[in-house]
Amino acid sequence: MTTTTSPNAAPDTPAPLADVTRDEASLRRFLHGLPGVDQVGVEQRAAALGTRSIKKDAKRWAIDTAISMVDLTTLEGADTRGKVRGLAAKALRPDPERQDCPRVAAVCVYPDMVEAAVDALKGSAVHVASVATGFPSGRTSREVKLADTRLAVEYGADEVDMVIDRGAFLEGRYMDVFDEIRAIKAACGEAHLKVILETGELATYDNVRRASWLALLAGGDFIKTSTGKVSPAATLPVTHVMLQAVHDWHEQTGELRGVKPAGGIRTAKDAIKYLVAVHEVAGEQWLTPNLFRFGASSLLNDLLLQRRTQVDGHYSGPDYVTVD
């Protein structure tokens, strides 16, 4: 069997793991040498942590924290600049009647809508994220994926959400996936890279762990569960596996990387379960938009309703927030 070598891997891989990405055989040996995920154990832990009761001031803090972690997203074929401007306005003032309501973390759009988002968010701390690399399937050439990424960055995106080649990963062509992530990371320049694993297509928790480590080794700033276009999307057990990966990465390298569950998270109650998981699995320092995001636009509406309930002492109803 011919051994594939990646000339770009070693210099940028943290010293403790430099040899891991030397060639295909080394990478395969490392990924398949990771501890197996106890399916029953991770699902039971996720379920148990999901029953934690958060009340009063802690709940208000959790809701505000979750709002600040939302990537407000529109990724539809019918997207217009007007729709993007409206989304940006909501990102800046999620609840126009509540001046103390936090802003969201980012607005996420297709590359051709980045300029409209950048213009609408100019001067604010809200980031502009763009999907790229043939989102959501990723079934296009590397040249097109790189051009897609460069276009997003040229238009002003400061975050890029890419999708991995799941076909290559499932065939065991790990170095191909690694090299592609590394190339996309280089094309991002100063922009942060979120690597979408599309966990619903990876079939097993062991594959989720391997894909998480592969993305981290290749330089991903965030690992992200899903595109939101495939079911199942984000789940608590899968997010536990990914949070454990970034925790272990930090233990080995000293570097902090983020996690973004995306798709299917619709209520404040669900969001709080994820925040509990972040605290218990990764650690308290991950409870920041710099290291944890929600890719769930519809979630924001319920967070705002629950925030009003906490502040006003009564339920306001859905007519008091804009509907996405």
Instruction: Assign 219 a pLDDT band (cuts: 50, 70, 90).
Output: very high
User: Which listed residue (71, 95, 158, 161) is catalytic?
Assistant: 161
User: Is 3's pLDDT higher than 80?
Assistant: no
Q: Are 78 and 118 in contact (CB under 8 A)?
A: no
User: Helix (H, G, I), strand (E, B), or coil: what is residue 2?
Assistant: coil
CA angle in degrees (0–180, nearest 5) for 170-176-179: 135
Assign residue 316 a region: left if phi > 0, alpha if psi is -120 to 50, beta otherwise? alpha
Average pLDDT, the chain: 93
User: Is 125's pLDDT higher than 50?
Assistant: yes
Annotation says 270 is catalytic: no
According to DSSP, the residues that pair with 12 across neighbouring strands are: none
Annotation says 260 is catalytic: yes
If we measure between CA atoms, which residue out of 229, 217, 214, 154 comes closest to residue 188? 154
- Rounded average pLDDT over 157-180: 98
User: Is 316's pLDDT higher than 80?
Assistant: no
DSSP label of 280: I
User: Which listed residue (224, 270, 273, 302) is catalytic?
Assistant: 224
Annotation says 224 is catalytic: yes
What digits encode the pLDDT tens for the residues 170-196? Answer: 999 999 999 999 999 999 999 999 999
pLDDT of residue 310: 87
pLDDT of residue 198: 98
Interatomic CA distance for residues 230 and 91, integer angstroms: 25
**Lowest pLDDT segment from 11-25, 212-226, 258-272:** 11-25
**Lowest pLDDT segment from 56-60, 66-70, 129-133, 299-303:** 56-60
> Which is it for the CA torsion 279, 282, 286, 290, positive or negative?
negative
Tell me the C-alpha to C-alpha distance, in Å, between residue 267 and each of 62, 224, 274: 13, 19, 11
CA-based Rg of the chain, rounded to a whole angstrom? Answer: 19
What digits encode the pLDDT tens for the residues 273-298? Answer: 999 999 999 999 999 999 999 998 89
Per-residue tokens: 65: 């924290």
pLDDT of residue 319: 54
Instruction: Assign 139 a pLDDT band (cuts: 50, 70, 90).
Output: very high
User: Which listed residue (145, 185, 260, 273) is catalytic?
Assistant: 260
Q: Say which residue, 84 or 15, is predicted with more confidence.
A: 84
